[in-house]
Structures are given as structure tokens and as C-alpha cells.
Amino acid sequence: MQHAMLKINHLLEHLEEEDFGKAVSYIEFLISARRKENMKKKAAEECVDVEAIVSSLIGVIPDSGRTLEDYRNERLRKYEIPD
């Protein structure tokens, strides 16, 4: 790393002043590209297999033969506000 820094310093000494902005912009571009790449890698590592989760839940909740409408009505009655 230190060798690279010395090389960069040497190159910057021979750079025209109006080209400093270009050099800085390019370095910022490289850093931005690296961050995006790292974020993509991290997102891929954290990716959750939804199908595996759903398949692991199948059978965990017993089938009582009730419909979704039955469950809905039960919840509505449970949280109903009395007049």
C-alpha cells in the first residue's frame, strides 16, 4: 500500500493543476463502484430463501378445517369495541 501511495504522489507531482479534478473524479468513481460491488455481494449473502422458509412452516400449524373467513370473524369479534 505504501508503495502505491509513493507512486501516486510521484504521478501527482507531474500532473497539471487543471487535471487534478479529473484525477479526483476518477478516484471517487472507483470508490463508488467498489462500494456498489460490496453492497451487491453483501445483499447476495443475506438473501433469504423464501421457499425454504415457507416449506419449513407447512405442517407446523395444524389444519383445523376452518376457513380464512372463520379466522377473520373470530379476530373481528375479539377486538370489537363494545358500544
| Distance in Å from the first CA to the final CA of the chain | 74
Q: Is the pLDDT of residue 76 over 80?
A: yes
- CA pseudo-torsion sign 74, 75, 78, 79: negative
Q: Is the pLDDT of residue 1 over 80?
A: no
DSSP 80: P
Q: Is the pLDDT of residue 80 over 80?
A: yes
6-51 pLDDT, tens digit each: 998 888 888 888 888 898 899 999 999 999 999 998 888 888 888 8
Q: Is the pLDDT of residue 63 over 90?
A: no
Q: What is the pTM of this model?
A: 0.46
Which amino acid, 39?
M
pLDDT given at position 29: 95
